[in-house]
Amino acid sequence: MTNIVTLTNVSLIRENKLLLNDISWKINQSEHWCLLGLNGCGKTTLLNIINGYIWPTKGETTVLNHKFGETNLPEMRKEIGWVSSSLQQRFPEDETAITIVLSGKFASIGLYESVTQEDVERANQFLHQLKCKHLASQSYRTLSQGERQRVLIARALMASPKLLILDEPCTGLDFLAKEQLLSLIQQIAMEPDGPTLIYVTHHVEEILSSFTHTMLMKEGRVFSAGKTADLLTEKKLSAFFEQEVGVQKIQDRTWLSLKEKVPY
């Protein structure tokens, strides 16, 4: 079984503050993971380490068989697709959707290298898969938040990544747009030759049935990690949130409710 990500005793200290505390995490090729945690728990910081943008203070990191310190990180990043709200802000407003998707082949912001007709066909294929082929010639500024997320996922798929990281992709989406995007992500996760997924959220109801494993992260630590079904229980989630919660399963999704009022 191929290891996609292996973090061993990873910690990060910045300005005398412990941001990540002794994190060990292993992701295998046959697994899709959800990373769940409240705002400020260190989720995005951990993603930056996996992508090689931040170097841990201590610990070892291996991603896609590339051991950090012994690998070319820019080349490694070409094997990773990353979609985040921060990435959304980096594209020129006048670029077309198809150009943004094509840039994913080179992991660049903007398209500076020549592309083939086959590249254009693949880009259109991914736009079709994400149900936004009709947006191909539209400028980025005219796209809604949900449409931008779909285009960026299509862009991430252009390089045939082995690892696809979706960092809170549903942020800012209305109910219908969110459910449509989650349905598309479910389809990607079910593809037999698709990438391994890391889906990051602070909403339990976004954890799809295709996410085989979940890591609960709290205050820079791993609170608990394992098979999703074992973690999404009233006992485990009540301990995680430090608040009694009720768990209801609806159409293979987990929905939470408070058993008592939140203390002020």
Q: Is 139 helix (H, G, I), strand (E, B) or coil?
A: strand
Q: Which residues contact 143 (CB under 8 A, 6 or more apart)?
A: 97, 135, 151
Strands 33-36 and 196-201: parallel
What's the pLDDT tens digit per position in 36-80? 998 888 898 999 999 888 899 999 999 999 999 888 888 888 899
pLDDT for the residue numbered 3: 86
CB 83 within 8 A of CB 169: yes
pLDDT for the residue numbered 104: 85
Residue 204 has pLDDT above 90, yes or no: yes
What's the pLDDT tens digit per position in 217-251? 999 999 999 999 999 999 999 999 999 999 999 98
Output 215 or 104, whichever has higher pLDDT: 215
Task: Summarize the confidence of residues 142-161 as an average pLDDT.
Answer: 91
Confidence of residue 116 (pLDDT cuts 50, 70, 90): confident
CB 91 within 8 A of CB 139: no
- Give the 3-state secondary structure of 163-229: EEEEECCCCCCCHHHHHHHHHHHHHHHHCCCCCEEEEEECCHHHCCCCCCEEEEEECCEEEEEEEHH
Whole-angstrom distance, CA of residue 154 vs CA of residue 123: 7
Whole-angstrom distance, CA of residue 88 vs CA of residue 152: 8
CB 11 within 8 A of CB 3: no
Among residues 146, 93, 155, the alpha carbon closest in space to that of 124 is found at 155
Residue 8 has pLDDT above 90, yes or no: yes
Whole-angstrom distance, CA of residue 76 vs CA of residue 83: 16
CA distances from 247 to 221, 222, 253, 258 (A): 24, 22, 10, 9
